[in-house]
Structure 1
């Protein structure tokens, strides 16, 4: 029987958690749905990743207001994907921060990504009528910048290509806490449709070099303590490497995309098949890994039409 397209069949609301992972540092998580980080300083608040719609963003705001009444001054975007950015207007922030590359990706493929993800995640886009349009960063940087929330410093950095070419992390040095976006996941599949597989491991090494006491990952539970931080980083590495090795071996011998998918099934289903959004991500991950193995460095733009074509080829 054909699988329901992407997450179109996942209509169950997820249980929300709001977990303190350091002093005045919080992770908003929802059972494998996109996470949001909250950084509270002396005089203001920074939000890391905005959610897919103002409706979902308002759920984050409600949680923030249980712990502080300080103004939300900054929304920081770890990357350009619609499920991360289109809720930004709900926070009333004075600045929206992202990497230069992230902003260029909004310009290049933001509308196509919105249309694509709308079809993949109907539950996340309930209330989409309130989205005012594409989310455009008002401040960008090439490699690093620091933002001061009063005395609290937040270091924003591009530490390498991984989930997308424009990924950034937020490091709060006074607490040793890192907000990674989708560079790190926990018991959730990595979406690799816009990834750079061969770079991702080195980027994880750069994440590890911070020696974080806690991480707010892109999906999955908040991570507090050395053991679970290490587990999440290494599981993410294994997920990415396992997919790429299986696909690249097929591509190297001239095998087809369908054969690449079968190779990934054999290696990855036993290890990761129970991860959140694993089946959703599967065809997009295989397609991007196949392209990269053939030397295509820049991920091809996903459209609603291409989504369905790849799904039919690999999941139909």
Structure 2
């Protein structure tokens, strides 16, 4: 597995961004007058240590903590490198380390799962981090990309780190642990804070503006809405790709359709077989 980290570049005064491989994940750094906060921690404890060293060299003030935007490995598994500081993440991240896929993922990344650490200051809804002349708001607007998405808001700089609730470099990752129906509502929490000059920093890709965010919110909502519509028409899963009007490419939709059908089935929505009338009836 190839690990690397680009140099931190400044997006706005005191707001920095780097990109960690594998998975091209955004790493954020928010610097205030008395402390700095790292946003997301990379894919392994060793990479987390590299991120910590690079952030400390840029910040010019002590690192006081790190926050993880959600439980996926590329954002979470480096958090152990910050365990002597205050570390934040949604409370669901504690149980996420017990998931069956963790051992397989860590083996593929080249380290043992017992090196992982959960956030030592988990949050349910929100926390405030004091960096001196700047404060950072950590907010869980609800389930979306995962059960525990946390958004990092820097009000004075008009910057929001969205994690993978938004993605710019590829379509949003609508995996089996997403909550497709609820995702747009989580994005609405972000969009309610967005002004014309707000900079949104997604979990993967380049920073975006409010037009991009509104558009992607509508596209995610349209996936759920289109599947709901097709089920109501009696369209079976195997026919849905050809039958639907989709906002994303065929590969993305083919991957999410079984997830969407399963989530709607859990709500009691399943396609009904359409009976054909006999001639003359």
Q: What's the TM-score bracket when you normalise by the shorter of the two chains?
A: 0.7 to 0.9
Q: 2:40 aligns with which of 49, 62, 69?
A: 49
Call closer, same or farther: CA 1:263–1:18 in 2, change over 3 Å: farther
CA contact under 8 A between 2:137 and 2:152: conserved in structure 1?
yes
Q: 1:28 aligns with which of 18, 22, 26?
A: 18
> What is the alpha-carbon distance in structure 1 between the residues aligned to residue 123 and residue 5 of structure 2?
35
By relative contact order (CA 8 Å, sep 6+), the higher-ranking structure is 1
TM superposition shift of 1:17: 6.0
CA contact under 8 A between 2:162 and 2:201: conserved in structure 1?
yes
Q: Which moved more, 1:209-218 or 1:172-181?
A: 209-218
Q: 1:291 aligns with which of 248, 262, 265?
A: 262
Aligned equivalent of 1:313 = none
Paired residues in the alignment total 264
Aligned equivalent of 1:138 = 120
Note the alpha carbon deviations across 1:93-112, whole angstroms, 9 max, x for none: 41221122333x426xx432
TM superposition shift of 1:244: 2.2
TM-score scaled to structure 1, two decimals?
0.71
CA contact under 8 A between 2:56 and 2:62: conserved in structure 1?
no
Q: CA RMSD in A?
A: 3.1
TM superposition shift of 1:92: 5.3
Q: 1:170 aligns with which of 152, 159, 182?
A: 152
Aligned equivalent of 2:279 = none
Segments ≥4 residues shifted beyond 4 Å: 11-15, 115-119, 261-264, 281-284
TM superposition shift of 1:91: 3.7
Aligned equivalent of 1:74 = 65
Would you tell me which structure has more helix in proportion to its own residues?
A: 1
CA contact under 8 A between 2:80 and 2:118: conserved in structure 1?
no
> What is the alpha-carbon distance in structure 2 between the residues aligned to residue 248 and residue 18 of structure 1?
43
Call closer, same or farther: CA 1:118–1:261 in 2, change over 3 Å: farther
Q: 1:106 aligns with which of 96, 107, 116?
A: 96
Q: 2:181 aligns with which of 198, 213, 216?
A: 198
Larger Rg: 1 or 2?
2
Gaps of 5+ in 1: 1-10, 274-278, 298-316
CA contact under 8 A between 2:33 and 2:131: conserved in structure 1?
yes
Call closer, same or farther: CA 1:249–1:158 in 2, change over 3 Å: same
CA contact under 8 A between 2:184 and 2:218: conserved in structure 1?
no
CA contact under 8 A between 2:151 and 2:161: conserved in structure 1?
yes
CA contact under 8 A between 2:153 and 2:160: conserved in structure 1?
yes
